[in-house]
Structure 1
Amino acid sequence: MPKWTLTTEFKFEAAHYIKNYDGPCGRLHGHSYRVRIEAIAHRLQASQYCPNPVMVADFRSLRWAKRDVLKGGLDHCVLNEVLPEAYETTAEMIAQYIHDKTKKQLPEGVKLKVAVSETADSWATYEDD
């Protein structure tokens, strides 16, 4: 069975604090977040931008989080004010939030893997099974 993997990487700037954290991360501070998304499918699809079934997903759909917060993304926001209450603002939970919101925009059968970095050498990854 054929399989395609689409990978995109982007960044956004945002501030956050981790509730009840005993240390500097409990105070408001900012990061240059890096996000890597892998979308995997066994068949190609059309997208809202292209009617032909020639892609796993449209890169524009995968990169929504890098848009300005006023345009529906996460760039230049305070994550604690934007993410739903069910999501804490750790890298793990930000990865899950981006995964969950992106998954809703994709056709059935596309598997996602989302990695988020808030420092140059640390990543958190979330994927569903």
Structure 2
Amino acid sequence: MSKIRITKQFNFETGHALYGYDGKCKNVHGHSYKLSVTVIGTPITNSKHVKYGMVIDFGDLKHIVKEEIVDVFDHATVFNQNTPHLELANELKSRGHDVILVDYQPTSENMVIDFAEKIKRRLPENIKLYSLKLQETETSFAEWYQSDN
């Protein structure tokens, strides 16, 4: 049976600051991210199975990505946990803002690596994460491919 890739796209808004960066992105700012999640597998061939003909139900993939990424990162601010912005992060938290402290610099490159690990852990055994594309602006994005890792 043929291997098939399917892709689901997601949108979310996230703020961040790049600690130690030598440009404008050292300041707290945000992006309208677009995340494309591509998985690969074999369509179900059992005609009695409710998901007959599907690699994975788009709804099931949506559920995983929303729980792991979108619902967590949407309208949150991400800081490197080693940033001097911790005082700001704690102040924002105390005022009811969603703040995420990560153990990496929150660039698109590092975020897409983090997202890949989170999604891979949740996929059914017979479905593999093929690639992720995290678009930060209309002209800038980071891509992750399983074949490169």
Aligned with 1:104: secondary structure? Answer: helix
1:118 and 2:144 correspond: no
Alignment match, 1:48: none
Aligned with 2:102: secondary structure? Answer: coil
Q: Percent identity?
A: 32
Tell me, which stretches of 5 or more residues in structure 2 are unaligned?
80-98
Aligned residues: 118
Name the TM-score, length of structure 2 as normaliser.
0.69
Aligned with 1:63: secondary structure? Answer: helix
Tell me, which stretches of 5 or more residues in structure 1 are unaligned?
45-50, 68-72
Greater helix share, structure number: 2
1:61 pairs with 55, 63, 81, which one?
A: 63
CA–CA distance in structure 1, aligned partners of residues 143 and 114 of structure 2: 11
Deviations 1:64-104 (A, max 9, x none): 1222xxxxx2100012242531x321111111111110111
Alignment match, 1:24: 24
Name the TM-score, length of structure 1 as normaliser.
0.79
CA–CA distance in structure 2, aligned partners of residues 9 and 83 of structure 1: 25
The structure with the largest alpha-carbon Rg is 2
Task: Please say if residues 61 and 102 of structure 1, whose CA atoms lie closer than 8 Å, have aligned partners that are also in contact.
Answer: no
1:92 and 2:94 correspond: no
CA RMSD of aligned residues (A): 2.2
